[in-house]
Homo-oligomer: A and B are copies of this chain.
Amino acid sequence: MIHRERKKVLLVSAHPEPTSLTRQLAEQSAETLAASGCEVLHSDLYGMGWKAVFDGNDFPERLNPERLSLIDESGHAFARKSQTDDVEEEQRKLGEADALILHFPLWWFGMPAILKGWIERVWAFGLAYGFRGAGNAHRYGEGGFAGKRALLAVSVGGPAVDYSPRGINGPLDQLLFPVTHGTLFYPGMQVLPTYAVYGAARLDDAGVAAARAGWAERVRRLFEDEPIPFRSQNGGDYPDRHVLAPTVAPGQEGLGAHVALPSRVFACDGLG
């Protein structure tokens, strides 16, 4: 008899209002995942009173009490298991999870500070960067979070047209590249195309219902959908680990060159 392991999914949500679309989509995640037989872990950052600021208090046993190097102290605390309890707990949850879903409103074209601070504190040196003391040898496609999937569910105040390929804000996939590529793919996660709900501030009940239904569909396919084909550092496209080989996306510059498909395929899914 084959034992099929139950998948675990960590939801991290970052909105202070329990009835916000962000929080409703997180509830939808929990419902849909439970119905699919997954185990759900949830870090509601506002509800937990998460400490957003990365500082010396994160290192109760300092390597160097004179001068604070965040990289050195992070590496030391992670290796010595002397991190703070809240960080240890988030790393434990993430370590168990097969997938991570980040639920947040787009504020000034990025994550809310409380979620950025969750990343800064939980993404320890030796784990999420500087993996196994090997500098940059393992990053972008491998590393401490390899084998996990990641997906963003983003509530966006403005209309979809402002985020279209020639829209005034810039395309959402490029604005979120520091998160999808630089934060999630960097330590090895496979990142799915972002789910965005536009005009989120002014949705009526029918709009919320449609957003939830569209999202539920994406959650059901969490372990089946194709990830964004970001190029892995060690797959051959970056022979020196720093720059694309001249034969890869020849002549192309900028963020889109790091996706192994025409840029339109990388466009965000969603409603608006």
Interface, chain A (partner B; CB < 8 A): 16-17, 19-20, 46, 52-56, 67-71, 107-114, 116-117, 119-120, 123, 136, 140, 157-159, 161-162, 164-171, 174-175, 177-178, 181-183, 201, 233, 238, 241-244, 252-258, 263
Contact = CB atoms under 8 A, between A and B. Distances in A.
A71 B107 contact: no
A182 B161 contact: no
A136 to B, nearest CB: 8
A54 B113 contact: yes
Nearest to A183: B108
This chain: how many copies in the complex? Answer: 2
Contact of A177 (B46, B158, B175): B175
A233 to B, nearest CB: 6
Given A175-B182, A254-B255, 20 more contacts: A16-B70, A20-B68, A46-B55, A52-B113, A71-B157, A71-B201, A108-B119, A108-B183, A109-B178, A109-B183, A110-B111, A166-B253, A168-B244, A170-B178, A171-B253, A171-B254, A171-B255, A175-B177, A175-B255, A178-B178
Contacts of A112: 54, 116, 120
A191 to B, nearest CB: 14
A166 B253 CA distance: 5
20 contacts: A16-B56, A17-B69, A19-B67, A52-B52, A54-B114, A69-B201, A108-B119, A108-B178, A108-B182, A109-B182, A109-B183, A111-B116, A112-B120, A140-B168, A165-B254, A167-B243, A170-B177, A174-B255, A175-B182, A254-B256
B175 A175 contact: no
A264 to B, nearest CB: 9
